[in-house]
């Protein structure tokens, strides 16, 4: 990848203290990039704090075994962040995604740089190290660590493995190439353990979660000649299983795995006149446009809508719009 790391290497070598930040609702690429880079900079004798706007979600907390990521407003203030020589933003280049850290960053007297792979881009800092073809920010951090000539340890390699594995959907997204596997090989040689990473991420379901998925899968209906699959999790399903609404998060992807299905929708009943819907689609279809008709939004292949309507009413309106979009 043709990024010129020299200006950032110079900045790093000339500085002593660093604050690393990423986007709100941080994912494994955000957190893994922060942790990998923090440990690498510490290997150079630098002082590093990781300060995010949001806490690490509990289901990925094991990426940070020493619990060193701080949350703005909890143990750390804007003034603490301003005390650093350098402020680095990882895995976003949009002011909006920084939440309350945006103001901290804007008003900081620190030198600033961004390392990111997203398309959307504000001019956050004079030093923007962006490579939109990179499969993960973790991949760019690995390149930086190697450019700094720091020995990869298991501690540095493991969070970077989390970052690349999750941002590539475990090595299957179109961004993946031979270079991805060569980077992963270096991380595994350094001590990252794919089996352990996978297991800490995906073998942590509760019985209730698996059971509520079962109820959603049992009720799948096909429409539009098998091109639309839809189902619902009702209040009664939550009561029967003891599952939480958040337990239904990814079940919609199972509906999309049915051969011939182009759009999948899972409704979740939240109350007598309140529900939401998750939409997923294959690349030929854009579900964001359908979601936007009802005030929702998201991405072309993954969108969501909230309704202040009874479940049956929301179902008939949204499914009619999806079917119309398939014509
Ligand atoms: Mn990312």
In this model, does residue 4 exceed pLDDT 70?
Answer: yes
Burial grade of 151 (CB within 10 A; 0-12, 13-18, 19 or more): exposed
Q: Which domains does the chain have, with CATH numbers?
A: 6-202 (3.90.1640.10), 207-325 (3.10.310.30)
| Distance from residue 132's CA to the centre of ligand 1 (Å) | 10
| Distance from residue 32's CA to the centre of ligand 1 (Å) | 10
Quote the CA–CA distance of 315 and 178 in Å, as a whole number: 43
Range of lowest pLDDT (30-34, 120-124, 232-236, 307-311):
120-124
In this model, does residue 1 exceed pLDDT 60?
Answer: no
| Distance from residue 242's CA to the centre of ligand 1 (Å) | 33
Token output for 307: 């309704």
Instruction: Note the pTM of the prediction, 2 decimals.
Output: 0.85
Q: What is the pLDDT of residues 250-277, one digit of tens each?
A: 899 999 999 999 999 999 999 999 999 9
Quote the CA–CA distance of 321 and 158 in Å, as a whole number: 44
Q: Which residues are CB-neighbours of 159 under 8 A, at least 6 positions away?
A: 31, 32, 33, 34, 35, 36, 39, 63, 64, 138
Q: What is the pLDDT of residues 12-34, one digit of tens each?
A: 999 999 999 999 989 999 999 99
| Distance from residue 65's CA to the centre of ligand 1 (Å) | 21
pLDDT, averaged across the chain: 95
């Amino acid at each position: 990848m043709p990024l010129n790391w020299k200006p950032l290497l110079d900045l790093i070598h000339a500085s002593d203290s660093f604050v690393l930040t990423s986007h709100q609702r941080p994912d494994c690429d955000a957190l893994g990039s922060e942790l990998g880079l923090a440990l690498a900079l510490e290997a150079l004798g630098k002082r590093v704090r990781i300060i995010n706007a949001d806490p690490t979600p509990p289901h990925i907390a094991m990426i940070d075994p020493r619990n060193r990521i701080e949350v703005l407003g909890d143990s750390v203030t804007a003034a603490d962040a301003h005390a650093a020589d350098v402020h680095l933003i990882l895995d976003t280049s949009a002011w909006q995604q920084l939440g309350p850290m945006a103001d901290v960053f804007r008003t900081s007297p620190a030198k600033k740089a961004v390392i990111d792979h997203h398309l959307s881009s504000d001019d956050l800092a004079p030093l923007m190290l962006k490579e939109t073809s990179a499969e993960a920010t973790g991949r760019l951090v690995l390149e930086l660590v190697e450019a700094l000539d720091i020995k990869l340890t298991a501690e540095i390699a493991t969070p970077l493995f989390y970052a690349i594995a999750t941002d590539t959907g475990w090595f299957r997204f179109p961004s993946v190439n031979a270079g991805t596997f060569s980077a992963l090989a270096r991380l595994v040689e350094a001590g990252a353990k794919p089996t352990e990473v996978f297991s800490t991420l995906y073998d942590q379901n509760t019985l209730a979660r698996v059971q509520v998925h079962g109820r959603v899968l049992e009720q799948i209906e096909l429409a539009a000649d098998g091109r639309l699959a839809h189902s619902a999790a009702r209040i009664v399903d939550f009561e029967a299983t003891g599952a939480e609404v958040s337990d239904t998060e990814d079940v919609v992807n199972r509906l999309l795995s049915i051969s011939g299905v182009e759009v999948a929708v899972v409704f979740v009943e939240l109350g007598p006149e309140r529900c939401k819907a998750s939409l997923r689609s294959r690349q030929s279809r854009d579900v964001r446009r359908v979601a936007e008709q009802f005030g929702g939004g998201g991405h072309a292949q993954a969108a969501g809508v909230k309704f202040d309507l009874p479940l049956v009413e929301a179902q008939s309106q949204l499914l009619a719009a999806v079917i119309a979009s398939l014509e």
